[in-house]
A and B are shown apart, each in its own frame.
Chain A
Amino acid sequence: MTRCTWLRPCLWAAIVALLVCGIPAWAQGQTAAPSAPAAAATPPPLAVDAPLPVSGPSADDQAAGDPSGTKTGTANDVVHADPTKPLTLVDLVNQAGQNRIAVNFVWTLVAGFLVMFMQAGFAIVETGLCRAKNANHTMMMNFMVYGFGLFAYWVCGFALQMGGAAGVSILGGAAPLSHEFTIHLLGHDWGLWGTKGFFLSGATYDVGVMVLFLFQMVFMDTALTIVTGAAAERWKYAAFAVSSLLLGAFTYPIYANWAWGGGWLSKLGANYGLGAGYADFAGSGVVHAVGGLTALALSIIIGPRIGKYNRDGSSNAMPGHDIVIVLTGCFILAFGWFGFNPGSTLGASGALRISTIAVDTMLAGCTGSFGALLYMWIKYGKPDASMSGNGLLAGLVAITAPSGYVNTMGAVIIGFVAGLLVCVSVEFVDRVLRVDDPVGAISVHGTNGLWGVISVGLFADGTNGVKGLFYGDPTQLVAQLIGVGTLLGFVFTTSYVANLAIHAIVGQRVAAADELEGLDIPEMGALCYPEFVLKPDTTHSGAAASVKAGLQVARETA
């Protein structure tokens, strides 16, 4: 008890002392924090061109080698505006800007190179799905479509598409692409085509414009090469050349302008309150549906191969000659798609969603092949190889437009639906429409290109500025459907009329005798496989009568 009587006042005294001394100290600490910015708000004036007190390793240090990498990539490597003077803040800021644009240039160019390599994938997929007697012809169409398309695009296609697309800040602005031809209608401006960049001349001789040209050009060429598959084994090579030039010069660029070049479709959001306007991130519509619908137009005009349909309208299977190169080509295309979709950000610095886009892409391709494989396995009892390949491509086509706007769950669903859709569509085109498409290009690229465009309006999750119906914005779906209507009503019709004109002037189809012989010798002058023994295609019982009829036509023509 005695001890407690003196301990309690001592404890109280200690608490009071702590409070008296501690509170001001704590308060001082609290007020010190805001005072720091106040001090920083009035720094001594910093001259942007004043020398910075930094230096890199000396010449002697660097001469000794740098095995650990710590002496490389230092202040010595920052570009000086005046090499005779020390480093300044201006130099640092310029270097930061230069680095950002350099990263984006490299990313976009490498992505473009990947897309260019897809030409090889398309070439062997299409050739493998055709018969051996037409292999040289099919390969040569895929080979030269690159040249025809590139030339047409350089002359006028790029200007029509991107001539008014200035403001691509991620690539430094592309300021020379400064004029869009517009008309004023229904109270709004409607951008129709660009007017700068013909022959890449004048002010468009610009580093940023060149990057944009390369990337957009390989996209355009993808659309062109889709057509060669649907018209394979019967397309006159001269007609193919003219048709490809027209598609690369006019039809594709005009629609691409409307979607990507600042044209009216992209402004549906600003002008009519339809979501973010027509959104097609990497081109399910612009590239694949344009190619697929042109393929449909051409296949209708050119007609089916001899032996494909019997007199009663039933169809005969005409299998390709090499499933190995078909599936190898599908892998090449899947690889190239990593340039197609993630590359469409046009940069990595400031666009880190490239990782999400890449994962969405691979997932949709995966579930696309699942969908097709399951459909064929359940319906026909076997997991069909070529349809599995087409399922993979269908998933990739469908995810191309939404890849920048959907999460992985959306990508999985979109891909799986695409895999089922491609099987249903191939059967519909073949048996109901009786349109002959040797490689399934109409279904893979046309049908699933349209599905990809629609899926943006359904699955876009709003993370990147586009929100679809399932996330609360039905207006985006309207914008997407207007895009679909434009693809069908404008792109198909334009392609149809253009190819009908070519058909009337030079003829689209080879002679029946040439078709039966195989197009390698009559059209190209050399066999693709000279050591093979090629036999007439009468192996399918149903086709025999049609082939005989074709031979009769050929004899009469001769």
Chain B
Amino acid sequence: MKLVGILLAVFGWLLPVVGLGMTSSTGARLVLCIVGIAITLTAILKLLISSHEKEAVWKQ
């Protein structure tokens, strides 16, 4: 789960960066940025946090 979270977070970052070379449309770049940030945030706030929550002190 942690590895998936890390890979997804990196993917969300690279998506708009690579997209710079694929389109020159400002609107398309803006959409790619927002989608990329959403993917990264989901990876961090959902996948990574929930993978650690299983080991949390208060759950034991």
Interface residues of A, Cβ cutoff 8 Å to B = 186-187, 268, 272-274, 296, 300-301, 303-304, 306, 308-311, 313, 433-435, 474-475, 477-478, 481-482, 484-486, 488-490, 492-493, 496-497, 500, 512, 546, 549-550, 553
CA–CA, A273 and B26, complex, Å: 10
Query: Is B57's CB under 8 angstroms from A488's CB?
Result: no
Query: Is B16's CB under 8 angstroms from A304's CB?
Result: no
Query: Is A433's CB under 8 angstroms from B12's CB?
Result: no
Interface size class of B (residues with CB under 8 A): 35 or more
Query: Is A478's CB under 8 angstroms from B30's CB?
Result: yes
Query: Is A481's CB under 8 angstroms from B34's CB?
Result: yes
| CB closest chain-B residue, reference A500 | B2
Q: Which residues of B contact A481 (CB under 8 A)?
A: 16, 30, 33-34, 37
What's the dominant secondary structure at chain A's contact region? Answer: helix
Query: Is B36's CB under 8 angstroms from A485's CB?
Result: yes
17 additional A-B residue pairs with CB within 8 Å, beyond A497-B6, A500-B2: A186-B18, A186-B20, A268-B20, A272-B20, A273-B24, A274-B29, A304-B57, A309-B57, A311-B58, A484-B33, A485-B17, A489-B12, A489-B40, A492-B9, A493-B9, A496-B6, A553-B60
| CB closest chain-B residue, reference A480 | B33
Q: Which residues of A contact B2 (CB under 8 A)?
A: 500
Interface residues of B, Cβ cutoff 8 Å to A = 2, 6, 9-18, 20-21, 24, 26, 29-30, 33-34, 36-37, 40-41, 44-45, 48-49, 52-53, 55-60
The 6 closest A-B pairs by CB, nearest first: A489-B13, A186-B21, A481-B33, A309-B58, A488-B40, A478-B29
Query: Is A485's CB under 8 angstroms from B40's CB?
Result: yes
| CB closest chain-B residue, reference A489 | B13
Query: Is B33's CB under 8 angstroms from A482's CB?
Result: yes
CA–CA, A274 and B52, complex, Å: 38
Q: With A489-B14, A493-B9, A549-B60 known to touch, is A303 a contact of B55 (CB < 8 Å)?
A: yes
Q: Which residues of B contact A435 (CB under 8 A)?
A: 49
Q: Which residues of B contact A274 (CB under 8 A)?
A: 20, 29
Query: Is A306's CB under 8 angstroms from B37's CB?
Result: no
CB distance from A499 to the nearest CB of B (A): 12
Q: Which residues of B contact A433 (CB under 8 A)?
A: 45, 49
Q: With A482-B17, A553-B60 known to touch, is A300 a contact of B9 (CB < 8 Å)?
A: no
Q: Which residues of B contact A313 (CB under 8 A)?
A: 58
- Which residue of B14, B30, B34, B57 is within 8 Å of A303 (Cβ)? B57
